[in-house]
């Protein structure tokens, strides 16, 4: 896993946006996996700026969101569809028909979840999946104990997640108890993952994810099995990482390699 530590939350947003923008420029018809929550808001803001000021073109991208609360309509201010419209889709030139957020009011959830998986496959799979992380180490709504091979399905939220998200709903009582979520297995099939975290409340989950054992108790730790994950963290979220200095060395070596400072690799090296 590549680990990048930025000074603060704004730095995480800017750096993450650079990775997304680079892919959109290289492959204008790429498939992006998107996340909600407070963490990626800065990244979306930066992408909107790039669209307005630099002409970053989203007209051919396809998007799939990770999850949605069960029972909320797309017009509910706390639904993830509403979040995506407000924080990204309404401000860029993406084709609305190519944006997919699970439907929290589907009639037959089992059939709907299978269809969501099928649609991702039909679009050629996800090129880059953006991920936040819960304080309990979840990715998407794959709560502790979720199978690491899980697919899109319904999930009961843990008390920790309900408590963390109560701030958006004005109280725990208002938070839906069920969500529809891509599975860990679905996420692991993305070609690349971009894991974002900021703030001290994520420090333990980040340490467990990057340096702990792979376990269903911290579903983000399954990312250790993926061949191409970039974690972009701020100082506070990276605070408990023991191998921090090594990650920094790796980044320095990477940029030396890219700038040609190290010279061309010799044969057999
Ligand atoms: P947050 O949520 O970005 O609002 O902290 C992340 C998550 O629960 O996945």
Compute, in angstroms, the gap from residue 121 CA to the centroid of ligand 1.
Answer: 26
Concerning whether 67 is annotated as a catalytic residue, the answer is: yes
**Overall average pLDDT of the 244-261 stretch:** 92
- pLDDT, position 269: 44
Residue 123 located in a structural domain: yes
Residue 29 lies in domain: 2-259
- pLDDT, position 265: 57
d(CA 163, CA 193): 27
- pLDDT, position 261: 82
At 69, list the tokens.
Answer: 């609360």
At 116, list the tokens.
Answer: 């969501």
Residue 163 located in a structural domain: yes
d(CA 151, CA 183): 4
Residue 91 clears pLDDT 80, i.e. is over it: yes
Residue 154 located in a structural domain: yes
The total domain count for the chain is 1
d(CA 236, CA 6): 10
If one residue of 42, 133, 234 were mutated to test the ligand 1 pocket, choosing by the most ligand atoms within 8 A of its CB, it would be 133
- pLDDT, position 71: 96
Among the listed ranges 47-51, 130-134, 157-161, 200-204, which one has the minimum average pLDDT value? 157-161
Compute, in angstroms, the gap from residue 112 CA to the centroid of ligand 1.
Answer: 24
Residue 264 located in a structural domain: no
Residue 267 located in a structural domain: no
- Residue 199, ligand 1, Cβ within 6 A: no
- Residue 102, ligand 1, Cβ within 6 A: no
At 82, list the tokens.
Answer: 């509403």
Q: With pLDDT > 90 as the criterion, what percentage of the chain qualifies?
A: 94
Q: What CATH number does residue 42 fall under?
A: 3.40.50.1360
d(CA 205, CA 151): 22
From the CA of 135, give the closest atom in ligand 1: 8
Residue 266 located in a structural domain: no
From the CA of 131, give the closest atom in ligand 1: 9
Compute, in angstroms, the gap from residue 63 CA to the centroid of ligand 1.
Answer: 19
Residue 30 located in a structural domain: yes
- pLDDT, position 94: 98
**Overall average pLDDT of the 67-88 stretch:** 97
- pLDDT, position 266: 53
- Residue 13, ligand 1, Cβ within 6 A: no
- Minimum CA distance residue for ligand 1 atom 2: 37
- Residue 135 phi, psi dihedral angles, 5° rounding: -65, -15
pLDDT band at 262; cut points 50, 70, 90: confident
Residue 116 located in a structural domain: yes
């Amino acid at each position: 896993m590549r680990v990048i530590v930025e000074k603060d939350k704004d730095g995480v947003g800017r750096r993450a946006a650079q990775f997304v923008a680079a892919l959109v420029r290289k492959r204008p018809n790429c498939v992006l996996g998107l996340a909600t929550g407070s963490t990626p808001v800065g990244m979306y803001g930066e992408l909107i700026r790039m669209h307005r000021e630099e002409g970053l073109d989203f007209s051919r991208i396809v998007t799939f969101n990770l999850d949605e609360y069960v029972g909320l309509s797309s017009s509910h201010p706390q639904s993830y569809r509403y979040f995506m419209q407000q924080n990204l889709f309404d401000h860029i030139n993406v084709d609305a028909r190519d944006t997919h957020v699970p439907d929290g009011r589907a009639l037959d959830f089992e059939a709907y979840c299978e269809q969501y998986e099928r649609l991702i496959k039909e679009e050629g799979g996800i090129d880059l999946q953006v991920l936040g992380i819960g304080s309990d180490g979840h990715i998407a709504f794959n709560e502790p104990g979720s199978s690491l091979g899980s697919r899109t399905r319904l999930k009961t939220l843990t008390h920790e997640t309900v408590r963390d998200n109560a701030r958006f709903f004005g109280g725990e009582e208002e938070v839906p108890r069920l969500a529809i979520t891509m599975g860990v297995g679905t996420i692991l099939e993305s070609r690349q993952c971009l894991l974002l975290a900021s703030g001290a409340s994520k420090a333990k989950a980040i340490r467990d994810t990057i340096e702990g054992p792979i376990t269903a108790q911290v579903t983000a730790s399954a990312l250790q099995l993926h061949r191409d994950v970039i974690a972009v963290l701020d100082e506070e979220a990276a605070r408990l990482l023991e191998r921090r200095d090594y990650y920094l060395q790796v980044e320095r070596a990477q940029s030396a390699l890219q700038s040609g400072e190290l010279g061309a690799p010799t044969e057999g090296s």
